[in-house]
Amino acid sequence: MVLKGFLPGSGISAASRNPLLKWGFLPETGKMKPLTVKWLKYLVAILVGNGVYFALNPYLPEPAKHHPFKFDLGTLVDFWLCLVVYGLLELASFLRKRVER
């Protein structure tokens, strides 16, 4: 019996031999899996959005600043900035695909 993704007789998976397969790359094309791309966009949006929020934090009015362990307007401003960054990433992705066609 041969299991899909394993080399016959070795007990070693193809992903363990090729680290790119383990990190979300498709073996046929070498491109990232769509789910991996989506999670990377989420990560970049959160990191950049939070970076922008904390860079602007000294200049924000007091109600728009986040206070630890409270759900306040600062939390919403931070979320909104992350959402804007994610929207810009999606727009760039859409425009890039449109130009490639």
The pLDDT value given to residue 33: 81
To the question of pTM greater than 0.75 for the whole model, the response is no
For the chain, give every domain's residue range.
1-29, 33-100
Q: From first to last of its 101 residues, what are the pLDDT tens digits of the chain?
A: 444 554 555 555 555 566 555 666 666 666 778 888 899 999 999 999 999 999 999 999 999 998 888 889 999 999 999 999 999 999 999 999 888 87
Three-class SS of 25-87: ECCCCCCECHHHHHHHHHHHHHHHHHHHHHHHHHHCCHHHCCCCCCCCHHHHHHHHHHHHHHH
